[in-house]
Chains A and B, each alone.
Chain A
Amino acid sequence: MQQPGRAAEIKAIGIGKSFGSFRALDDLTLDIGRGEFLTLLGPSGSGKTTFLMILAGFVQPTDGRLYSDGVDITERPAEQRAAGMVFQGYALFPHMSVEANIAFPLKVRKKSAAEIKRRVSEMVERVGLKGHEKKLPSQLSGGQQQRVALARALVFEPGVLLLDEPFSALDKGLRGQMQAEMKRLHQETGTTFVFVTHDQSEALALSSRVAIFNHGKLLQVGAPDEVYDRPANRFVAEFLGEINMLPLKGVRNADNGATGLCEDRTITLRGNASAVGSNAILAIRPEYMSIAPEATAGENGIAATAVASTYLGAATRLDLTTRQGAKVTVSVPNEVAASALSKGNSVWLTWPAEKGFLLPDGGQ
């Protein structure tokens, strides 16, 4: 965070924050790698924004230490950390032109007029705001304001860029455009990005790693496919997307995985699944399940009845009920859905052994 032009490496050890008796963040330990794009994901009140504010220096943690490139910065005030920050609602200076907004961090650093001019025009170009330099923020569209906020936060080449739900005010199309823009800026600058969002698809699409928060606790950190396919617990599994859960009995470890009984059928799991008790929850994402006319020997599968279908354009979403009454959702090709519904609604649900995983029964 202190050497401009160089991505910072951040280490948080045992960070906690209490507001009165409310524990906003509890015992958070996390390494943020140099040049990484880390997303802090969680519902509102999960502690993700509190952690971002602690990184920025706006909030002082109650416990723990924070290091940037090996230097303890826990007590360092925000203005000396100078992490680039993009706020929800942008927080542009309303009385300054686009140009003056972007120049502000350089002026504060007492750069020469020539250097300020050069770097501001470079940045204006980079975020595509040429021709808007003299306008006031109020004369810009939401997307343009967003670009000014990004330019202002990146112009002084901070070691880390902190983004607090920057796209929440944008409509869907613009959002996608800005996401792509941000990914490009991340690649071009090589700066460490820490991004806060409550939108799981945004998190999965953008980040090199995702950190999932709930109730002030960090639940899991990992690459998008890792947290999506191997969630550490039920909350993470459900928060990252739709998931089917089936009770599994007689679970035991087996060769490179586990086996168990689901609705009287023997189910095998391969990969990281290991038994946590004799009863567990078998979890499978809807897109990994498919339907077949009848059972194939040696393949995972249970019988189910299709109860409803929703046409989604590219695919059809089928809602099914198993014999024992569990509700399952599957995303299948449109023609498969049509034929399943025409055949008296009775189908066979199958999924690859490596796509299922186990969650502890009942609890989190």
Chain B
Amino acid sequence: MKAYLSDRMGAALLMAPLLLFLGAAYAWPFFGVVNWSFTLPEPGLGQYGTLLSDPLVQSVFVRTLRIAAIVTIVSVAAAYAITLVWVRGTPAQRVIAEFCILVPFWISVLTRAFGWVALLSNRGLFNTWLQAIGFISEPLTLVRNEFGVIVGMTHFLIPFAVFPLASSMRSLDDRVLLAARGLGSSRMRTFWSVFVPMTRSGIIGSALIVFVFSLGFFVTPAILGGGRSVMVAELIYLRIFQSPDWGLGAAISVVLVLFVGTLMALLFRYVRPKQLI
């Protein structure tokens, strides 16, 4: 019993610096933000009323949810394919897949966003090529709109979607797949009615991670959206730094944090944390 207590003390001591840091750097300022949302410019629920009635704020929320949903579907689907190769491919395929998953982590999000601008802009590589082979006559608008934002965000988030999927695919018992085939199921059928359902927790975990990340995305939408496809994080930035309206910015922040918090609670309810690594 004594050892148990001192173990718990030891654990608490080891975790203390992190908790203190998170408290000082996140929790405390966040309470400040909550405070602003109820007091600026005057005390009351006025800012939350604006939030519910202002069509601009609402359209930004709707767009954010729409982009996050599309990015989630595309990222998880793409990550599923990559993870399949990474976990179940031949040794050579695994190395290539691992490279594709890890390399993006070494390049800053800013660099990647500008990279996409270079590729997708009117005089970028894609449009130049497509025009050169005569596929199109006028450049396609690929950036400074939702499409560009989705491409950039998906590219950034795929690696994050891979890990929960990999964990669920690794823990899957191969004999179950053999059993399905032995019982007469084609490879295709085995994949859809056995493999995919058995990786369900990975899919849920992966989708929630990508969705939560997408909701608060700032840099990529700001660059690739070019101010025309504003998402929630950018709207908060605009309210705080450009049209000093701290109260509204704070209220939007609070709503966003509550929404993300709810999703995280769901995530940990359905997926054990160790499955995410």
Residues of A that sit less than 8 Å from B by CB: 56-58, 77-80, 82-85, 87-89, 91-95, 104-105, 108-109, 152-153, 156, 162
Q: Chain B interface mostly helix, strand, loop or mixed?
A: helix
Shortest A159–chain B CB gap in Å is: 12
* Cα-based distance from A57 to B181 in the complex (angstroms): 9
Residue of A nearest to B198 (CB): A95
**Do B183 and A85 touch (CB < 8 A)?**
yes
**Do B200 and A95 touch (CB < 8 A)?**
yes
**Do B175 and A87 touch (CB < 8 A)?**
yes
Q: Mark B163-180, 1 if CB is under 8 A from A, else 0.
A: 000000000010110111
* Cα-based distance from A170 to B181 in the complex (angstroms): 25
| B173, B184, B186, B194 interface centre (most CB from chain A within 10 Å) | B184
Residue of A nearest to B187 (CB): A79
Interface residue B197 (Cβ < 8 Å from any Cβ of A): yes
Q: A58-B178, A92-B176, A93-B176 are in contact. Are A104 and B200 (CB under 8 A)?
A: no
**Do A105 and B184 touch (CB < 8 A)?**
yes
- What 4 additional pairs, Cβ within 8 angstroms, besides A58-B181, A91-B179? A57-B182, A79-B187, A92-B179, A104-B183
**Do B175 and A89 touch (CB < 8 A)?**
yes
* Cα-based distance from A95 to B192 in the complex (angstroms): 13
Residues of B that sit less than 8 Å from A by CB: 173, 175-176, 178-187, 189, 193-194, 197-198, 200
Query: 3 smallest A-B Cβ distances: which pairs?
Result: A91-B175, A105-B183, A91-B179
Q: What are 10 sample pairs from A and B whose C-beta atoms fall under 8 A apart? A: A78-B182, A79-B181, A80-B184, A85-B182, A89-B175, A94-B198, A104-B185, A108-B184, A109-B184, A156-B184
* Cα-based distance from A56 to B176 in the complex (angstroms): 14
* Cα-based distance from A32 to B178 in the complex (angstroms): 23
Residue of B nearest to A109 (CB): B184
**Do B197 and A89 touch (CB < 8 A)?**
no
Q: Which of A82, A83, A88, A94 contacts B176 (CB 8 A)?
A: A94
**Do A58 and B176 touch (CB < 8 A)?**
no
Residue of B nearest to A86 (CB): B179
Q: A89-B173, A108-B189 are in contact. Are A152 and B178 (CB under 8 A)?
A: no
Residue of A nearest to B176 (CB): A91
Shortest A185–chain B CB gap in Å is: 17
